Amino acid sequence: MAKKIKILVVDDETAVAKSIAGALAGKDLAADTAGGGQAALDLDQKNRYPVIITDLMMPGMDGLELLKKIKARRPEALVIMITGFPSVKTAVEAVKLGAFDYIPKPFTPAELRAVVRRALARVSLEGQPQKISGKSLYAIPENTWAKIEDDGNVKIGMHPVFLDTIGHIGEIELPKAGERLAQGEACVKIIDSRERKHRLWCPVGGRVVAVNEKVRYDLKPLVQDPLGQGWLLVIAPDDLESDLKNLVPMED
Amino acid sequence: MILYDFIDRLRRSLRAKLILTFSALVVLSVALSAAAGIVLLGTAIRRQAQDKVRQDLNGVIEVYQKEGQRIAAAVELIAQGLSAGQLAGGHGRSWERYWREAISEKGLDFVSLTDEAGRVIYRPLNPGARGDRYPNDIARWVQWSKKTVISSERFSQGQLEREGGDLSARARIVTADTSRSAEQGRFHQSDGLMLVAASPVKDDKNRILGIVFGGVLLNGNEELVDRAQRMLYRQERYQGRDLGTVTIFLDDYRIATNVTTAQGKRALGTRVSEQVYRQVMERGSRWVGRAYVLDAWRIAAYEPIRDISGRPIGMLYAGILEAPFVRLRNKVVMVYLAIAVLTVAALVLVVNWASGRIIRPVRELVAATEEIARGNLGYRVPVKGQDEIGQLGDSFNRMSAELKRVTDGYLELNRTLEQKVVQRTKELEAARDSLVQTEKLSSLGRMAAGIAHEINNPLTSIMLNSHLMKEKLPKNSRLHEPLDLIIEETARSSAIVKGMLEFSRQTVSHLRPTDINRALEKTLRLLDSQLMMQKVSVSTDLSEELPQVPADEGKLRQVFTNIILNAGDAMPQGGRLEIATKWDGERRKVRISFADQGSGIPREVLPKIFDPFFSTKGIKGTGLGLAISYGIIKQHGGEIEVQSREGRGTVFTVVLPLERNQI
């Protein structure tokens, strides 16, 4: 029996922590749970978890603080944030601060597992992750990029590293033009070849003004030219200025 | 009362005052001039009449003197026919015949012969009476002058009888009393007034041998007075009477006259008025003037008849009836008065007209002020002329217009104030309502955020575990169905929570000038396929004059989408949705209305439709759509109005202000 990969789940609500742990437990995965930040740090010290799932809002030490401390100690550790809806922006901020991804509550086991699988894939990713750069380019690190166009709209696409973590794309679900999206909300869903659903977070809130319908049928540009032909949608931003604060600038 | 009313009316009527004043002046001046004219004319007429009478009297005197001269000539002729011998000698038949012929042929009433001293030596009519002397100085005058002397003399009854013939009887005149006679007295006038001439009989040596006397009795001498009357008045008559009359008086008795009595007889024996008698007979001077002669007023002139010694013994009279002069004067007066009356009438008319012309604009002004007092502001008087009244009218009109303008301004101000109060009240009520709604929403938002957070954890557990259970259940387990139900309901709970959170997060970001029409068109384009599926046909009436409104276009389109989809839901069998935009320039607001033909919203439900979690769609809706829309529009400073008639449809109207700082 191969050694199971251990993951740490941190939540002040034991029921949630146990449920998550339960949902993750399987052939190759096992999860420990911690009821707070300090306990998590203690456990991590001992077990050096490759992936830590933590609730963002916790009494005492909150998720962000925990993230900072773990990252300070072990930059290679991947931290997944569990967020309530009001803190989606905080979640994006958390990604900026180094979180691998986040999962908005409530979520299904499938959603949870998809993110964890991606994290594990990222852990085992060899070599330097691909970096992107460009003028007026911003990113939710390793998730999506946002490029401010001359007309003030924002073009959005998938971060190349995201693709690396999901393997093969089976299907892609794009939003409809006219739909409204908030920053941090799921804007594109990607179903990989194992039928896992992955979500790309919208880097900028606003109204969808254009969608690259081509990629629905032809995934090649998405894979080969994720920053160019592989764009996914264009958003007319509501409040670009405040959204940009939560993004990582990718200018040279 | 009537008089009082009249005076009262006068007091009130400016025109009456003017007319009265002017008329009084006119009447006064015309009356004065008429009076002066009448007096002057009357005087002139009287003077002229008197002048005429004076001339007439001169004419009468002339006739009288001519008669005297005729007598003198006759007597002279007789005297010249006598010789000295005849005087001294006998008295034969031829002598007597000579004298008789002398009397009859020469038209004398008596003849006598005296000696050189004046003693009567022969009376042909009474030869027996001789030796006496005439009781006057005629003989002496003849002796002195040696020429023929003419004189008027009183002959007493005795004297007349002595002269013989019927002289005494002829002279006798029954006197009649007249009202103005000097004294009551004799019943008979027996004396005679004799026009006498005496001529000397001279010898070769011019010595006076004797004197021939001859005369004509004037008593009852119609011939003389009628001759004078004929000569002077040519028998002119006035109202059946002689216009002019001539009379010879002895003392104050009419002894020869053509003045007639009421019975048409000559008024012999009647007497002259005392006034005339005194002046003429007693003072011996001429009298000219108005006199009451017998029975009528006449313009009369009296001249004294003097005897040889200069004593007034009678009078000559010429007179004309005053009546024609009075009539003439009256005529003139009448004409004068007529002219005066006509003048007055004409002047009054002129004054009336002029005052009317002056007063009419004043009256119009009075009427106009009454109109204004009655509230008819801005009333204008027709302005004519440049005079003071015209200027008054002008300034009145200006005043009236100004009054109207000011009053209208006040009324308008009042009206606008009222309107403003009403509108403000409405707005305040709406603001209060919306404040309540907003308050409801925001407190609910805060609560929702808290609840969502708390609920999310159990939901997460439920979701995870229900899924896990399902995964672990054998494929044919009967528990799959209830588990699926749990999963579904959890998902729904999750959606509700998500909605609540979204709702609590509603904040519009930057408002940019937004073309509402374009936003609507884009929204419709996106909803096109869905509306087609729902068999909803959309007609639009988008106003071209819509200004750009500061708005969060994305949020706005969310609102539009929500309302349009609701409309679609309200018409399950499909129908028409009419969308219109309108610019309310007055309130500076854009109105976007969505009218569906759906079932309408029941009256009792209407107040709740914007409440969060209120839904009519059962499990299909979260009940947050309209609440969120409402929140969005409120954040734009706008309103969502709803009008609904059950069975007819609903009209949602989104009202967006051009400026934010409105209630």
The Cβ of residue B46 has, within 10 Å, a number of other Cβ atoms equal to 17
**CB neighbour list of residue B619: distance below 8 Å, 6 or more residues apart:** B492
What pLDDT is recorded for position A224? Answer: 83
Distances (CA, A) of B158 to B123, B150, B163, B169, B475: 15, 22, 9, 11, 207
- Cβ-based contacts of A13 with chain B (< 8 Å): 457, 461
Q: What is the maximum alpha-carbon separation in chain B? A: 230
B479-485 average pLDDT score: 87
- Position A71 scores a pLDDT of 92
Q: What is the rounded CA–CA span in Å between residue B130 and residue B115? A: 11
Picking from B461, B511, B629 by the largest number of A CB atoms within 10 A of its own CB, the best residue to mutate is B461
Phi first, then psi, for residue B594 (nearest 5°) are -125, 110
The reply to whether omega before A106 is within 30° of 0 (cis) is yes
- Check residue B264 and report its DSSP letter: S
Contact yes or no for A181/A202 (Cβ under 8 A): yes
The pLDDT of residue B32 is 84
Give CA torsion, residues A97, A101, A104, A106, to 10 deg.
-140
Nearest Cα neighbor of B365 from B340, B382, B343, B385 is B382
- Find residue B433's DSSP bridge partners: none
User: Distance between CA atoms of B550 and B552, rounded to whole angstroms?
Assistant: 7
> In Å, what is the CA distance from A216 to each residue of A52, A186, A191, A234, B428?
33, 17, 12, 15, 54
The DSSP 8-state label assigned to residue B119 in this structure reads B
Mean of pLDDT values over B219-227: 88
pLDDT at residue B446, as a whole number = 64
Angle at the Cα of B462 from the Cα atoms of B458 and B466, rounded to 5 degrees: 175
Interface test with A, best of B454, B459, B460 (most A CBs within 10 A): B460
pLDDT bracket for residue B363 (50, 70, 90): confident
Checking if the pLDDT of B181 tops 50, the result is no
Element (H, E) at B201: strand B192-202
pLDDT for position A42: 93
Average pLDDT over residues B612-637: 73
Query: Which of A57, A106, A109 lies closest to B459 in CB terms?
Result: A106
pLDDT of residue B622: 62
* Contact predicate B365/B391, CB 8 Å: no
Identify the pLDDT of residue A2: 60
Q: Select the more confidently predicted residue: B128 or A35.
A: A35
The CA distance from B154 to B137, in Å, is 12
Secondary structure class of B196 (helix, strand, coil): strand
CA torsion sign for B307, B309, B312, B317 is positive
CATH number of B389-507: 1.10.287.130
The beta-carbon neighbor of A106 closest among B463, B504, B555 is B463
Q: What type of residue sits at position B397? A: N
Per-residue model confidence as pLDDT tens digits over A186-203: 889 998 888 888 999 999
Tell me the percentage of chain B whose pLDDT exceeds 70.
88
Considering only residues B101 and B657, tell me which one the structure prediction assigns the higher pLDDT.
Answer: B657
Nearest CA in chain A to B487: A108
For A182, nearest residue in chain B (alpha carbons) = B502
The whole-number pLDDT of residue B423 equals: 82
Locate the chain A residue with the closest alpha carbon to B504: A86
Give the per-residue pLDDT at B507. Answer: 58
Cα angle vertex B636, ends B632, B642, to 5°? 65
- Which class is domain B17-349? alpha beta
For residues B176 and B247, the answer to whether their CB atoms sit within 8 Å is: no
Q: Average pLDDT in the A72-95 region?
A: 82
Which among B460, B471, B554 has CB closest to A106?
A: B460
Interchain CB distance below 8 Å, A16 and B465: no
In chain B, list all ranges with CATH 3.30.450.220. 17-349
Sequence-separated (6 or more) residues with CB below 8 Å from residue B630? B437, B441, B610, B640
DSSP string, B44-82: HHHHHHHHHHHHHHHHHHHHHHHHHHHHHHHHHHHHHT-
Report strand pairing: A51-55 vs A78-83: parallel
- Minimum CA–CA partner of A15 in chain B: B461
Contact with chain B for residue A59, Cβ under 8 A: no
* Pairwise CA distance, residues B53 & B65, whole Å: 18
Could you tell me which residue, B521 or B612, shows the higher pLDDT? Answer: B521
Residue B6, pLDDT > 80, answer no
E strand or H helix at B303, and its extent?
strand B296-306
- Do B171 and B157 form a contact (C-beta atoms < 8 A)? yes
Classify burial at A3, counting beta carbons within 10 Å of its beta carbon; exposed 0-12, middle 13-18, buried 19 or more: exposed
Tell me the pLDDT band of B562, cut-offs 50, 70 and 90.
Answer: confident
Residues of A in contact with B467 (CB under 8 A): 23, 108-110
Across the interface, do B457 and A108 touch by the CB < 8 Å criterion?
A: no
Percent of chain A with pLDDT over 90: 33
Q: Which of B453, B457, B505 has its CB closest to that of A16?
A: B457
Q: Could you tell me which residues are beta bridge partners of residue B237?
A: B242
**CB distance A23–B464 less than 8 Å?**
yes
User: Does the pLDDT value for residue B409 go beyond 60?
Assistant: yes
For chain B, residues classed under CATH 3.30.565.10 are 509-662
Q: At the topology level of CATH, where does B509-662 sit?
A: Heat Shock Protein 90 (3.30.565)
DSSP reduced 3-state for A94: helix
Nearest Cα of chain B lies from the Cα of A180 at a distance, in angstroms, of: 7
With the CA atoms of B85, B86, B89 and B95 taken in that order, what torsion angle do they form, in degrees rounded to the nearest 10? 160
Are B546 and B655 in contact, with CB atoms under 8 Å apart? Answer: no
The pTM is what?
Answer: 0.45
ipTM: 0.82
**Per-residue pLDDT averaged across B463-488, rounded?**
88
Q: Which residues of B446-458 are buried (b: 16+ CB within 10 A; e: fewer)?
A: eebbebbbebbbb
Question: Greater confidence, A129 or B654?
Answer: B654
Q: Write down the mean pLDDT value for chain B.
A: 81
A210 Cβ under 8 Å from any chain B Cβ: no
**B313-344 residue pLDDT tens:** 999 999 888 888 778 777 877 887 788 788 77
pLDDT of residue B579: 92
d(CA B336, CA B449): 121
Give the span between the Cα atoms of A250 and B336, in whole angstroms: 131
pLDDT at B663 > cutoff 50: no
% of chain A with per-residue pLDDT over 70: 97
pLDDT at A250 exceeding the cut of 70: yes
Summarised one tens digit per residue, pLDDT across range A95-113 is 888 899 989 888 889 889 9
How confident is the model at residue B182, as a pLDDT?
Answer: 46
Domains of chain A (ranges plus CATH)?
A: 5-124 (3.40.50.2300), 137-249 (2.40.50.100)
Q: Which two tokens stand for residue B513?
A: 């000038």
- Give the tens place of pLDDT for each residue, B390-402: 787 788 888 888 8
> Residue B645 belongs to what H/E stretch?
strand B639-645
Residue of A nearest to B453 (CA): A84
CB B182 within 8 A of CB B277: yes
Contact B299, B325 (CB under 8 A): yes
Tell me the shortest Cα–Cα distance from A110 to chain B, in angstroms.
9
Residue linked to tokens 């002729």: B77
All CATH 1.10.287.130 domain ranges of chain B, comma separated, are 389-507
